[in-house]
Amino acid sequence: MNEIDQLPLVVIAGRPNVGKSTLFNRLVGRRQAIVSDMPGVTRDRKEGEALLRGKRVRLIDTAGLEEAAPDTLYGRMRASSESAVSQADLVLFCIDARAGVTPADKHFAAWLRRQNKPVLLLANKAEGAAATSEVLEAYSLGLGTPMALSAEHGEGIAHLMGEIADRLPDTKREKAPRSDRNARRDEGDDPEEDIRPAGPLRLAIVGRPNAGKSTLLNALLGEERMITGPEPGLTRDSIAVALHDEVGPIQLVDTAGLRRKARIEQDLERMSVSASIEALKMAEVVVLTLDATLGVHEQDLQIARLIEREGRACVLALNKWDAVEDRAATRQAIADRIETSLAQMRGIPVVTFSALTGAGVQKLLPAVRRAHEVWNSRVTTGELNRWFEAALERHQPPLVDGRRLKLRYMTQAKSRPPTFILFGTRAELLPDSYKRYLVNGLRETFHLPGTPIRLQLRGTK
Ligand code: GDP
Ligand code: GDP
């Protein structure tokens, strides 16, 4: 085996023309020792050795590999990178900050996230602080914090070298299992979230005993057969239930709460909360089911707060509507109570129906779909910052210790639920009241009712 094979492998990937080759040359510098024993690597200067902060690494540039590969841009990018990425200890994913995040970047990033490799996200061509908002927009790729640099002008290269070295083992042999060893994600990032491939919408129906969850489930299933069986990731006594609507498949997660009820007579109230926790964790959208004849119980609020804390989308289902006398007043009273207790999720959609008679049940899944969309939504950095500037003008950020906080810009780091990062000098000192002002503004301006919204603060120098 060649000696270079023992070195940690760093792969530069990204769509054509973002500056991969330029970066490769920067990193390799004079050490152009070319060893080409990787299948598919035919052209020169695609592989070399670099010395980064005293650490030797093997570097592969996937640029140029595209030419040999199939038809579409996506196909080419992927085919060219697949084998290199599969062997990589670290992937440098480059975008062109001047061009902003393109569909091809998104496509490639989504694929890359599924490879579970440590990735450094590089926003190239950002010399002289050019393209700041595009750099921030790169957060939306879900690959952590973008590093702005300029391969051509050499800006940010020394810093990058250090960051690479920090993430690499010395040699392959010393290396711990690949898994997440060097993976670094943004704080507040939920690693489960973006990695999961698109599949059925995962729905949980939760609520207190006797709210009518089982009856609702049967009404939803209608003619559909229950699919039961051991489902990986579900608790032992859960059953997986598949539904369909016009949009596509919906998987009902965790029906354990429904089934356990039959066996345990005692302590149902406490059970309903703990069963809800399990269901929540697996769900994207949660239907909080209430017996509308009984109004809102403390237990309901407890579950609602859990939904908020876990960052799930929520639909409030008022069941037993057939037995409610004053419907308008009941609806208002319940919605008010939920809203005041859950200001962080203002605008939760409310659906009324009778699971028993089936009247109104057809409104539920469309409301679930809408809540899911809101929860998934993305705001572009441009729109966001136009709104942000206006919001700052309407209400100046407060003084803290006699000095005004300088808030600079915002970016949406991820969705599911919508999560925003606010950058500014001493931003971390921002009082809650001002945070609420911003969150409420985001909710209204970008139409984000009923979803938890996260706002993270980042102090800058
Ligand atoms: P690759 O196809 O991804 O390997 O991209 P190249 O390295 O061939 O670069 C594509 C083009 O972008 C070339 O014209 C480079 O000179 C230019 N380029 C690369 N890095 C930078 C940079 O940091 N700033 C600017 N402005 N242009 C760059
Ligand atoms: P779960 O404990 O939440 O699963 O509740 P169930 O589905 O077992 O329902 C509890 C009780 O409420 C049963 O007696 C149901 O028949 C009754 N129920 C459920 N839905 C409705 C409804 O829409 N209207 C009325 N009047 N009763 C209902």
Domain residue ranges of the chain, discontinuous segments joined by +: 3-167, 201-229+237-376, 381-459
Residues 6 or more apart from 461 whose CB is under 8 A from it?
425
Decide if pLDDT at 268 tops 60: no
End-to-end Cα spacing for the chain: 48
Q: Alpha carbon 239 to chain centroid distance?
A: 26
Residue 160: its H or E element: helix 157-166
Question: At 431, which amino acid appears?
Answer: P
* SS3 of residue 123 by DSSP: strand
Mean pLDDT to the nearest integer, 339-366: 90
Round the average pLDDT of the chain to a whole number and report it.
78
- Kindly report, residue by residue over 64-78, the tens digit of the pLDDT: 554 444 455 555 555
Do the annotations mark residue 335 as ligand-binding?
no
Q: How would residue 340 be classed by pLDDT, with cut points 50, 70 and 90?
A: confident
Q: How would residue 232 be classed by pLDDT, with cut points 50, 70 and 90?
A: very low
Q: What's the rounded Cα separation, in Å, for the pair 406 and 398?
A: 9
Relative to beta strand 90-96, strand 9-13 is: parallel
Instruction: Give, using CA atoms, the residue closest to atom 22 of ligand 1.
Output: 125
Decide if pLDDT at 186 tops 50: no
Do the annotations mark residue 124 as ligand-binding?
yes
Distance 211 CA to ligand 2 centre (A): 6
- CA–CA distance from 306 to each of 288, 302, 342, 416 (Å)? 11, 6, 11, 15
236 within 8 A of 255, measured Cβ to Cβ: no
Decide if pLDDT at 273 tops 80: no
pLDDT of residue 312: 93
**Which one of the ligands is nearest to 127 CA?**
1
Q: How would residue 456 be classed by pLDDT, with cut points 50, 70 and 90?
A: very high
Q: How would residue 92 be classed by pLDDT, with cut points 50, 70 and 90?
A: very high
User: Quick one: which atom of ligand 2 is closest to the CA of 319?
Assistant: 23
pLDDT of residue 458: 87
Do the annotations mark residue 17 as ligand-binding?
yes
Mean pLDDT to the nearest integer, 9-20: 90
312-346 in b/e form (b: 16+ CB < 10 A) is: bbbbbbbbbbbebeeeeebbeebeeebeebbeebb
Residue 174 burial (10 A CB sphere; 0-12, 13-18, 19+)? exposed
Q: Alpha carbon 122 to chain centroid distance?
A: 19
Q: Is the bond preceding 191 in cis, omega lying within 30 degrees of 0?
A: no
Q: What's the rounded Cα separation, in Å, for the pair 154 and 151?
A: 5
pLDDT of residue 4: 63
Mean pLDDT to the nearest integer, 379-383: 87
Decide if pLDDT at 105 tops 70: yes
Domains 201-229+237-376 and 381-459 share a fold: no
**Which one of the ligands is nearest to 206 CA?**
2
- Cα dihedral 298, 304, 308, 309, rounded to 10, equals 60
Q: How would residue 228 be classed by pLDDT, with cut points 50, 70 and 90?
A: very low
Which residue carries 């066996």 as its tokens? Answer: 263
37 versus 398: the higher-pLDDT residue is 398
Q: In this structure, which topology does domain 381-459 adopt according to CATH?
A: GMP Synthetase; Chain A, domain 3 (3.30.300)
400 within 8 A of 434, measured Cβ to Cβ: no
Residue 272 burial (10 A CB sphere; 0-12, 13-18, 19+)? buried
236 within 8 A of 254, measured Cβ to Cβ: no
**Ligand 1 lining (C-beta closer than 6 Å):** 16-22, 63, 124-125, 127, 150-153
**Ligand 2 lining (C-beta closer than 6 Å):** 207, 209-215, 258, 261, 319-320, 322-323, 354-356
Q: Alpha carbon 183 to chain centroid distance?
A: 16
Task: Compute the 3-state secondary structure of the chain and give helix, strand, coil in percent, each to the nearest 5.
Answer: 40, 20, 40
Q: In this structure, which topology does domain 3-167 adopt according to CATH?
A: Rossmann fold (3.40.50)
- Kindly report, residue by residue over 132-166, the tens digit of the pLDDT: 778 888 888 888 888 999 999 988 898 899 889 88
Q: Describe the crossing of helices 327-341 and 298-310 by its angle, rounded to 10 degrees.
A: 50
Q: How would residue 317 be classed by pLDDT, with cut points 50, 70 and 90?
A: very high
Decide if pLDDT at 30 tops 80: no
pLDDT of residue 236: 35
Distance 295 CA to ligand 2 centre (A): 15
**Range scoring the smallest mean pLDDT among 2-16, 63-77, 226-240:** 226-240
Q: What's the rounded Cα separation, in Å, for the pair 315 and 369?
A: 10
Do the annotations mark residue 255 as ligand-binding?
yes
**Range scoring the smallest mean pLDDT among 193-202, 343-352, 432-441:** 193-202
Decide if pLDDT at 187 tops 50: no
Superfamily of domain 201-229+237-376: P-loop containing nucleotide triphosphate hydrolases (3.40.50.300)
Do the annotations mark residue 15 as ligand-binding?
yes
Decide if pLDDT at 451 tops 90: yes
Distance 121 CA to ligand 2 centre (A): 51
